[in-house]
């Protein structure tokens, strides 16, 4: 029996991971597609008068097995992959693409949608129904429904090739990350690293079969502490070069041709659909609307940030030389994190490591739960009876103040070889209503934090605390959704709006009132000292100019690939240098490249959208002012944010939601003030 094809007989119909095996995915997908095609046939052949209900809602409800199977499969492909899953993906992904195209390119189905769309103003639709209709119509139009048969076939082949190439990109990157390990014989080579990082390096070496030695890898919990604290400059250089040359080493895992192929396929697809570039296609469905507006936005930030960043770097190089480091002309990228941390300690009399004992992972998790309860009245109860895909994953039932079920939350926090780097929020089921029944969401946060060692629990850096708050903000957006339609619920919003709930939530981590709830020393239980909180606040805009330039350089690289015709790009590294030139503050290292490992735009959903992090920072800084004015735990403001932003998903245009919450359009002033860029 294939568990994917039957109702899940588990608590809250959660995924029965204990029963699902890799061999179940392709048969379930094939059967799901067969059922979905029959559902589509019934919509098309229905002889009754076409209505919103028998066309739009029927289409929205179709393909549920396909959606469920794909969501489980791709989540495992990211968080618990192996050779078998990766091989299945090579068949699975093209099938999904083909199925999606079969629907989007179905002329009869589109005619039915178009007939409803053409009379939309006389149908008395609710706001959410109108959004669904418009989304469906545009979805068809923007995905080829208006093309002739020959063009449709061309689109199919482009989409198939694109999905396969994107998989290759991700698999190459994972392999390159996993393949590198720097094994060190003595603790002396880890000079400068805090005890916790040394212990983690020892444990890692043991796990990798190098008992009695020390190991450093390209996974963030290993790489970042090494680059920040290791005094041996030649080892930092080795690590930096390994990290920045992933998938750029001229071997069979090199992503150069892969990146060019993806960019060219996207451009070709956009042209076929009548758009000048992929960026023009993408931005039509964003708050920003067009590349010119994004470039203007980035240009304004660049003007403010560059003078500040140049000043910061000059000061850092001078500090480095005065404290026994290299001359300013010899300062390289592998010197940045090390000396920036030293300067930060000097300026604020403050070492980031001092904070870690106050940020035990379990306490921080309890902290975000408490903040969510204080603001939105929801509680998280751990459950041991919900199946998971790995022993490290914890599960929670979420309930409201009346004890009613809100959703299920999965927490997966530690790195492992089958898991891609980074941190993300995802869902196994999105909230939606079927036959009056509100199906609550199953939401997951996936991160890569330092694992507990034999002597210490998992202790987070403050940056990791921010990451946890960030992803949990996305989680709340998914959990608190109150929409009718799955395709509009939770985080199904414009991409440059989706980061608002996550980035605003980071703000609480800087506030004493919030830190006092959970930041307690893991050994003594004492609360984080006020002086540390003050220093967190004071140092929060440390090197914000440089940080902004870094984000702008990524955004410009993204628009470089997607905002023009990429067919003339011959050398990926040369093109990249041109795109990022005006944002560079340090020499480019030969053999390093960002594009080939830029998973956000070549594997994730951020193509022509990386700017949205900065765009959403403007929104979050402006929105958090409302909380600061009334008190960060003010129930009235929290309820307003919950009802106007978190519950609404994509059922209303984001600017309308923002205006309903804030009463005015956002301005960059709050962000510039917070970042010290004014």
Nearest-angstrom CA–CA distance, 346 and 191: 19
Same domain (yes/no): 388, 520: yes
Beta strand 405-412 with 442-446: parallel, antiparallel or unpaired? parallel
Say what the pLDDT of residue 604 is: 84
Same domain (yes/no): 400, 522: yes
Is position 272 within any domain? no
| Catalytic residue (choose from 176, 189, 219, 471) | 471
Which tokens belong to 597?
């490992």
Q: Tell me the sheet residues that pair with 411.
A: 394, 445
Q: CA–CA distance from 388 to each of 396, 423, 449, 554, 588 (Å)?
A: 11, 18, 19, 35, 43
Is position 589 within any domain? no
Look at residues 244, 275, 295 and tell me which one is the last residue of a structural domain.
Answer: 244
Whether the CB-CB separation of 408 and 397 falls below 8 Å is answered with yes
Say what the pLDDT of residue 442 is: 98
Q: Which residues contact 462 (CB under 8 A, 6 or more apart)?
A: 352, 355, 359, 509, 536
Same domain (yes/no): 383, 502: yes
Angular region, 354: left φ>0, alpha ψ -120 to 50, beta rest:
alpha
Q: Which residues contact 243 (CB under 8 A, 6 or more apart)?
A: 218, 223
Per DSSP, the three-state class of 520 is: strand
Is position 336 within any domain? no
Mean pLDDT by 10 residues, the chain (678 residues): 97 98 98 98 96 97 98 97 95 95 94 96 96 96 94 96 95 95 97 94 95 96 96 98 98 98 98 98 94 95 96 98 97 98 92 92 98 98 98 98 98 94 96 97 96 92 96 98 98 94 97 96 96 91 96 98 98 97 95 97 94 93 95 98 98 96 90 86
Nearest-angstrom CA–CA distance, 573 and 358: 42
Q: Which residues contact 671 (CB under 8 A, 6 or more apart)?
A: 617, 618, 621, 622, 677
Is position 448 within any domain? yes
Say what the pLDDT of residue 546 is: 97
Q: Locate tokens 């095996």: which residue?
A: 21
Is position 77 within any domain? yes
Is position 340 within any domain? no
Is position 17 within any domain? yes
Look at residues 189, 211, 244 and tell me which one is the last residue of a structural domain.
Answer: 244
- 325 φ, ψ (degrees, to nearest 5): -90, -165
Q: CA–CA distance from 98 to each of 102, 163, 271, 284 (Å)?
A: 6, 10, 20, 24
DSSP string for residues in 405-437: EEEEEEEE-S--TTS-SS-EEEEEE--EEETTE
Same domain (yes/no): 139, 185: no
Q: CA–CA distance from 473 to each of 319, 330, 491, 642 (Å)?
A: 37, 41, 11, 12
Same domain (yes/no): 194, 68: no
Same domain (yes/no): 428, 526: yes
The count of residues in the chain is: 678
Query: What number of H helices and E strands is found in the chain?
Result: 27, 9
Q: Which of 493, 411, 496, 419 is nearest to 458 (CA)?
A: 411
CATH of residue 36's domain is: 1.20.1050.40
Q: Which of 456, 228, 266 is nearest to 345 (CA)?
A: 228
Q: Which of 427, 377, 385, 490 is nearest to 12 (CA)?
A: 385
Same domain (yes/no): 367, 490: yes
Nearest-angstrom CA–CA distance, 622 and 205: 46
- Residue 471 appears among annotated catalytic residues: yes
Whether the CB-CB separation of 356 and 519 falls below 8 Å is answered with no
Say what the pLDDT of residue 454 is: 87
Say what the pLDDT of residue 675 is: 87
Same domain (yes/no): 376, 522: yes
Same domain (yes/no): 64, 125: yes
Is position 590 within any domain? no
Nearest-angstrom CA–CA distance, 107 and 105: 6
Q: Locate tokens 């403007």: which residue?
A: 618
Same domain (yes/no): 196, 129: no
Per DSSP, the three-state class of 106 is: coil
Specify burial of residue 275 (Cβ count, 10 A radius: 0-12, 13-18, 19+).
middle
Look at residues 486, 509, 540 and tell me which one is the last residue of a structural domain.
Answer: 540
Range of the domain at 533: 357-540
Nearest-angstrom CA–CA distance, 675 and 184: 39
Same domain (yes/no): 135, 209: no
Q: Which of 127, 235, 171, 213 is nearest to 488 (CA)?
A: 127
Same domain (yes/no): 66, 127: yes
| 266-611-143-170 Cα dihedral, nearest 10 degrees | 50
Which tokens belong to 590?
């030969």
Q: Locate tokens 């968080």: which residue?
A: 79
Helices (H), 330-450: 333-348, 352-355, 361-376
Say what the pLDDT of residue 421 is: 86
Nearest-angstrom CA–CA distance, 28 and 26: 5
Count of domains observed in the chain: 3
Which tokens belong to 235?
């080892």
CATH of residue 384's domain is: 1.10.1370.40
């Amino acid at each position: 029996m294939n568990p994917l094809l039957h109702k899940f007989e588990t608590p809250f119909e959660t995924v029965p991971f204990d029963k699902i095996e890799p061999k179940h995915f392709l048969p379930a997908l094939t059967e799901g597609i067969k059922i979905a095609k029959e559902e589509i046939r019934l919509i098309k052949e229905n002889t009754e008068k076409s209505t919103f209900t028998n066309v739009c809602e029927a289409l929205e409800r179709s393909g549920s097995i396909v959606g469920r199977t794909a969501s489980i499969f791709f989540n495992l492909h990211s968080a618990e992959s192996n050779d078998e899953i990766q091989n299945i993906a090579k068949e699975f992904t093209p099938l999904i693409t083909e199925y999606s195209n079969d629907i989007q390119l179905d002329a009869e189905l589109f005619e039915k949608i178009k007939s409803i769309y053409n009379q939309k103003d006389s149908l008395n639709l609710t706001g959410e129904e109108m959004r669904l209709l418009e989304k469906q119509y545009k979805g068809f139009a923007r995905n080829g429904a208006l093309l002739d048969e020959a063009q449709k076939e061309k689109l199919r082949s482009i989409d198939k090739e694109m999905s396969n190439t994107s998989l290759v990109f991700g698999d190459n990157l994972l392999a390159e990350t996993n393949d590198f390990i720097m094994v060190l014989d003595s603790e002396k080579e880890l000079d400068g690293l805090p005890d916790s990082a040394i212990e983690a390096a020892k444990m890692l070496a043991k796990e990798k079969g190098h008992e009695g030695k020390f190991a450093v890898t390209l996974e963030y919990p290993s790489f970042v502490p090494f680059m920040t604290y290791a005094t041996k400059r030649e080892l930092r250089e080795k690590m930096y070069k390994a990290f920045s040359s992933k998938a750029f080493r001229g071997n069979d895992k090199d992503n150069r041709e892969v990146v060019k192929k993806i960019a060219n396929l996207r451009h070709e697809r956009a042209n076929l659909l009548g758009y000048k570039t992929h960026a023009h296609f993408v931005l039509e469905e964003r708050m920003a609307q067009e590349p010119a507006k994004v470039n203007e936005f980035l240009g304004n930030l660049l003007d403010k940030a560059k003078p500040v960043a140049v000043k910061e770097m000059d000061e850092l190089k001078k500090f480095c030389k005065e404290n026994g480091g290299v001359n300013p002309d010899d300062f390289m990228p592998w010197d940045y994190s090390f000396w920036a941390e030293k300067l930060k300690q000097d300026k604020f009399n403050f070492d980031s490591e001092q904070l870690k004992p106050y940020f035990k992972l379990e306490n921080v998790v309890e902290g975000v739960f408490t903040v969510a309860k204080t603001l939105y009245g929801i509680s998280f109860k751990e459950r041991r009876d919900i199946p998971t895909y790995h022993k490290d994953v914890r599960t929670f039932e979420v309930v409201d103040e009346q004890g009613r079920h809100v959703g299920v939350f999965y927490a997966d926090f530690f790195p492992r070889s089958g898991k891609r780097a980074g941190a993300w929020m995802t869902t196994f089921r999105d909230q939606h209503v079927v036959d009056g029944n509100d199906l609550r969401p199953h939401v997951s946060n996936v991160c890569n934090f330092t694992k507990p060692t034999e002597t210490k629990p998992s202790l987070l850096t403050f940056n990791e605390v921010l990451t946890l708050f960030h992803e949990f903000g996305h989680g709340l957006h998914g959990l608190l959704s109150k929409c009718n339609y799955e395709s509009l619920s939770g985080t199904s919003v414009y991409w440059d709006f989706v980061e608002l709930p996550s980035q605003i939530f980071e703000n609480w981590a800087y506030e004493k009132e919030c830190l006092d709830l959970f930041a307690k020393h893991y050994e003594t239980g004492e609360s984080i000292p006020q002086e540390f909180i003050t220093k967190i606040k004071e140092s929060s805009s440390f090197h914000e100019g440089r940080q902004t330039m870094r984000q702008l350089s990524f955004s410009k690289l993204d628009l470089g690939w997607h905002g023009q015709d990429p067919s003339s790009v011959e050398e990926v590294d040369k093109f990249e240098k041109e795109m990022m030139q005006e944002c560079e503050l340090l020499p480019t290292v030969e053999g390093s490249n960002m594009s080939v490992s830029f998973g956000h735009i070549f594997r994730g959903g951020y193509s022509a959208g990386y700017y949205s992090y900065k765009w959403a920072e403007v929104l979050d800084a402006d929105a958090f002012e409302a909380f600061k004015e009334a008190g960060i735990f003010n129930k009235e403001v929290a309820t307003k944010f919950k009802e106007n932003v978190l519950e609404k998903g994509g059922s209303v245009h984001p600017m309308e939601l923002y205006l309903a919450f804030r009463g005015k359009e956002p301005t960059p002033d709050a962000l510039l003030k917070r970042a010290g860029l004014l």
